[in-house]
């Protein structure tokens, strides 16, 4: 599945408040609101996208995709994996002053990159209309394409020229080699929300981590490239059971957010910290390396489930 990484530079014109614990929710919500106002046939309606009579819709297909009634695959799910991850600014600061640079990233999966013009216009409007809890004004300064496999980068858009000049800079899981590995460390940067039998997980077994990555990759590949990955699910799971925990140093965080409309409360309890695993890990390395940009667990679209992976031996 071809994947594109965009680095977004926004220059604050006013003071902008982005609390660390909720900046992903706030930025994603602002992006969705501006996209909906721009393209939705019923922008002020509380109608759900699945009930909308409109045909083609960028808002639905990119921001709020739903499974069509006739879909044979994953038809039991009302909503499907979003084709993007919005990675909010890193660091502990909760506010930005006028003149400060705000840097965030967006990872776009598969054929959803065809919506690039809408993404750029929405980012421009988001900045102009105001972002953060106080709706501070800003300016979209530039957008950079990056390839984390090759290390290459390219300025796709700059406010100085106003010209959009994209290049082929995509990457995929297959670009990562199956490096020999018997011990790894995974550092969970943002809370990973994983459940098992209805309960939030605080210390994840390797089997849980790799199966969640596998399932998310399979779902994204199907919905945004129309490809069913060539995976033997039983053998994959059996091999993962032979990998064990060496060290666990995680911190469990409890968070919540109100869904659109403000009525329903969604619990977003997850863990951060580090896990070390040992065993025959070679076949899992491409998934783990690619997963650093795909993210893991629920609410990945907000930037949750971001991690880094290091081979120790």
- Rounding to the nearest 10 degrees, give the CA dihedral for residues 282, 284, 290, 296: -150
Cα 213 to chain centroid distance, Å, stands at 13
18, two tokens: 């982005």
Q: What is the pLDDT of residue 131?
A: 92
Lowest mean pLDDT across 1-10, 34-43, 260-269: 260-269
Q: What is the pLDDT of residue 161?
A: 92
Q: Dump pLDDT digits (tens) for 22-53.
A: 899 899 999 999 999 999 887 777 667 777 77
Per the CB < 8 A criterion, the answer to whether 102 and 138 are in contact is: yes
Q: How far are the Cα atoms of 73, 80, 103, 220, 293 from residue 223, in angstroms, in the given order?
A: 9, 8, 29, 5, 18
Positive or negative torsion for Cα 235, 241, 247, 250:
positive
Counting residues of the chain whose pLDDT is more than 90, the rounded percentage is 72
Q: Does residue 70 carry a pLDDT above 80?
A: no
Least Cα distance to 144 among 133, 134, 154, 131 occurs for 154
160, two tokens: 């100085």
12: left (phi over 0), alpha (psi -120 to 50) or beta: beta
Q: Which residues contact 55 (CB under 8 A, 6 or more apart)?
A: none
Q: Does residue 261 carry a pLDDT above 90?
A: no
DSSP per-residue letters across 143-189: EEEE-TTT--EEEEEETTT--B------B-GGGS-----SEEEEEEE
Which tops the pLDDT comparison, 233 or 189? 189
Lowest mean pLDDT across 55-59, 67-71, 150-154, 289-293: 67-71
Per the CB < 8 A criterion, the answer to whether 188 and 177 are in contact is: no
Cα Rg for the chain, rounded, in angstroms? Answer: 20
Q: Does residue 75 carry a pLDDT above 60?
A: no
Q: Does residue 79 carry a pLDDT above 90?
A: no
Q: Dump pLDDT digits (tens) for 88-124.
A: 998 878 999 999 999 999 999 999 999 999 999 999 9
Per the CB < 8 A criterion, the answer to whether 184 and 309 are in contact is: yes
102-111 b/e with 16+ CB inside 10 Å = b? bebbbbbbbe
216, two tokens: 């998310």
Q: How confident is the model at residue 80 (pLDDT cuts 50, 70, 90)?
A: confident
Q: State the burial class of residue 236 (Cβ atoms within 10 Å of its Cβ: 0-12, 13-18, 19+).
A: middle
Which tops the pLDDT comparison, 49 or 173? 173
**What is the DSSP pairing of strand 183-192 with strand 84-87?**
unpaired
Q: How confident is the model at residue 72 (pLDDT cuts 50, 70, 90)?
A: low
Q: Does residue 185 carry a pLDDT above 70?
A: yes
Q: What is the pLDDT of residue 229?
A: 86
- Alpha helices in the chain, H assignment, sequence order: 23-39, 58, 116-129, 206-225, 233-240, 285-294
For all residues of the chain together, what is the average pLDDT? 90
Structural domains of the chain sorted by starting position, each given as residue range(s) with its CATH number in brackets = 3-158 (no CATH), 173-311 (3.30.70.1900)
Lowest mean pLDDT across 67-76, 109-118, 134-143: 67-76
Q: State the burial class of residue 293 (Cβ atoms within 10 Å of its Cβ: 0-12, 13-18, 19+).
A: buried
DSSP per-residue letters across 234-283: HHHHHHHTT-EEEEEEEEEE--EEEPTTS-SEEE--EEEEEEEEES--GG
Mean pLDDT of 59-67: 87
């Amino acid at each position: 599945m071809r994947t594109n990484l965009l680095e977004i530079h926004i220059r604050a014109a006013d003071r902008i408040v982005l609390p660390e614990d909720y900046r992903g929710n706030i930025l994603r919500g602002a992006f969705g609101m501006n996209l909906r106002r721009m393209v939705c046939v019923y922008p002020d309606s509380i109608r759900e996208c699945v009930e909308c009579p409109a045909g083609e819709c960028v808002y639905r297909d990119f921001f709020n995709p739903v499974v069509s009634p006739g879909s044979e695959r994953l038809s039991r799910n009302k909503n499907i994996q979003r084709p993007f991850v919005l990675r909010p600014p890193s660091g502990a600061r909760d506010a930005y002053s006028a003149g400060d640079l705000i840097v965030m990233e967006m990872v776009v999966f598969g054929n959803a990159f065809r919506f690039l013009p809408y993404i750029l216009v929405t980012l421009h409007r988001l900045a102009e209309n105001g972002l953060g809890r106080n709706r501070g004004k800003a300016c979209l300064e530039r957008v950079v394409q990056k390839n984390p496999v090759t290390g290459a980068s390219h300025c796709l858009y700059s406010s100085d020229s106003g010209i959009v000049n994209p290049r082929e800079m995509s990457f995929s899981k297959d670009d990562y080699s199956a490096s020999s590995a018997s011990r790894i460390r995974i550092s969970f940067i943002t809370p990973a929300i994983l459940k098992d039998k209805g309960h939030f997980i605080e210390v994840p077994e390797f089997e849980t981590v790799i199966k969640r990555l596998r399932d998310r990759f399979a779902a994204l590949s199907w919905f945004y490239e129309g490809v069913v990955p060539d995976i033997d699910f039983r053998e994959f799971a059996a091999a993962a059971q032979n990998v064990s925990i060496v060290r666990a140093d995680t911190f469990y965080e409890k968070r919540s957010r109100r869904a659109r409309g403000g009525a329903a409360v969604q619990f977003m309890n997850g863990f951060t910290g580090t896990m070390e695993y040992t065993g025959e890990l070679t076949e899992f390395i491409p998934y783990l390396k690619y997963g650093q940009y795909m993210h893991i667990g629920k609410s990945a679209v907000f930037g949750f489930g971001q991690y880094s992976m290091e081979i120790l031996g």
